[in-house]
Structure formats: structure tokens, C-alpha cells
Amino acid sequence: QKEVERDPGPLSVPEGAIVSLNCTYSNSAFQYFMWYRQYSRKGPELLMYTYSSGNKEDGRFTAQVDKSSKYISLFIRDSQPSDSATYLCAMEEGGSEKLVFGKGTKLTVNP
């Protein structure tokens, strides 16, 4: 079993839709959870960073972590065509400094 799994993609949604992206993990030692956005042929850009169970909101983005279920989510409200990108979840054990990435979900928001 891979350490980090993401829900299958790709996703195609109309502008204004609510998008839900999810990852599950098996390593209970993961303490830090991140979501990155990667545009085509570019490096990943940090969107959300959290280290505790619960929700964290930043503008149209909400990151949710459920450590008991080993499940994290990213919600995008009022999605825009500019949100079209690949979204990667990433996790890290405390003190390891190494990130483990999920495969990434390609999102297309249609105008």
C-alpha cells in the first residue's frame, strides 16, 4: 500500500462549483499536512499547511484533516477557471523534513 493515496481524477467542473479533493494515508506518524497547486510545467505552490485535525480556511480554500480516519481534504468554493491546475497533497512526519506526496489530481474549471 502506498503511503499516500488520492481520490482518482481528473476532475472537470463548471465555474462556481464547489470542489472537493481528498487524500488518505496509512502512516500514523504524519503530523504535517499540506496542499500544493501545480500549474503545467511549473513548480508546486503551497496553498495550505496544517498540523492538527480540524478545518483551516483561507479565502476560498478550506483544508480539513481527520487524523483518526487518516484522511485530508481540500475544498475550493466558487471555483474559477484560474483554479485549473494539478493539486497535490503532501505529508510529513514530525522532524523528518521529508515530504511524501500523493499523485495529484488534475482539476479543470470550465467557464
Partner 1 sequence: GAVVSQHPSRVICKSGTSVKIECRSLDFQATTMFWYRQFPKQSLMLMATSNEGSKATYEQGVEKDKFLINHASLTLSTLTVTSAHPEDSSFYICSARRTANTGELFFGEGSRLTVL
At residue 71, φ and ψ (nearest 5 deg) are -145, 130
Q: What are phi and psi of 82, to 5 degrees?
A: -70, -10
Q: Could you tell me how many residues of this chain bind partner 1 (CB under 8 A)? A: 23
If one asks whether residue 58 binds partner 1 (CB under 8 A), the answer comes out as: no
Candidates 8, 14, 59, 98; binder of partner 1 (CB under 8 A) is 98
| 59 near partner 1, rule: CB under 8 A | no
Task: Specify the residue, 41 or 111, whose C-beta has the smaller distance to partner 1.
Answer: 41
Distance in Å, CB of 16 to partner 1, minimum: 27
Torsion of the alpha carbons at 46, 5, 18 and 108, rounded to the nearest 10: 80
- Residue 22 within binding range of partner 1, rule CB under 8 A: no
Q: Kindly state whether residue 82 participates in binding partner 1, applying the rule CB under 8 A.
A: no
